[in-house]
Amino acid sequence: MTEFPRPAPGTWPPMNSPAYGSTRRRHALHPPIAIPHTLSETSAPRFTPSAYPAYADMSVHEGQAAMGERIIVGGRVLDEDGRPVRGAMLEIWQANAAGRYHHVRDQHDAPLDPHFAGSARVFSDEEGRWQITTIKPGAYPWGNHAKAWRPVHIHFGLHGQGFAQRMITQMYFPGDPLLPLDPVFMATPDAAARERLIAQFDLDYALENQALGYRFDIVLRGRNATPMEDHK
């Protein structure tokens, strides 16, 4: 039996975050109504690689290598007890090395890369582990104010074992000078919670002469309701 506690205060960004202009007319004025978790929240879609094929390498598209610095990003999907979340589907998307999305509405004056599409789909294994190969994305201007550029980031969408676990987040890179200026990143009040959105540079994920590595562990809502005997 799994329970899905609400996030601790301050660890998630408030829906009304005025420094991020797009929240102004899109956040609800009424607080959401808390409901007990029913089957509709504790069950989740079953995504299998047979129906939702995995593709883990964004660094090559149609047989051609993308421009930019090839990296490996990997980590684990865990619950709040630190136990692996198995079979979680991760949907991943990002801008190319020049900071341009392969998207019709992205009009940023940076080159598109015909060999970079910018999406991946992977599943966590028995230990909650997952891994992708990609290109380090670029920063890009986004118009929130005159010189606003998004810090380098990769989008992650996760589907866990209950629909209450469904979440989308962004992974950032260590040492990015744009982070303290970014209203999306900075909207989360708790500094430790913000730090957990930043990947760790990790040579254990690197491939010799091929790619550097970053580790990004993702913790979904979820806690064992009845302590298991073998759980320390």
Q: How far is the CB of 97 from other proteins (least distance, A)?
A: 15
**What does each C-alpha distance from 126 to 22, 88, 130, 173, 203 come to in angstroms?**
39, 10, 10, 27, 23
Selected from 56, 139, 184, 198, the binder of other proteins by CB under 8 A is: 184
Locus of tokens 């891994």: 131
Q: How far is the CB of 189 from other proteins (least distance, A)?
A: 10
Selected from 3, 57, 91, 125, the binder of other proteins by CB under 8 A is: 91
Sketch the per residue contact string, 32 through 71, with other proteins: x for CB under 8 A, - otherwise. Answer: xxxxxxxxxx-xxxxx---x--------------------
124 touches other proteins (CB under 8 A): no
Select 136 or 221, whichever has its Cβ closest to other proteins: 221
Select 82 or 180, whichever has its Cβ closest to other proteins: 82
Residue 26 and residue 21: Cα distance in Å, rounded? 10
- CA-based nearest residue to 151, from 109, 103, 198: 198
119 touches other proteins (CB under 8 A): yes
Which residue type sits at 127? Answer: E
Which residues are tagged catalytic?
A: 101, 140, 150, 153, 155
Selected from 54, 60, 112, 117, the binder of other proteins by CB under 8 A is: 117
CA atoms within 13 A on the CB side of 112: 11
130 touches other proteins (CB under 8 A): no
Residue 69 DSSP class: -
CB-based contact 218:169 (threshold 8 Å): yes
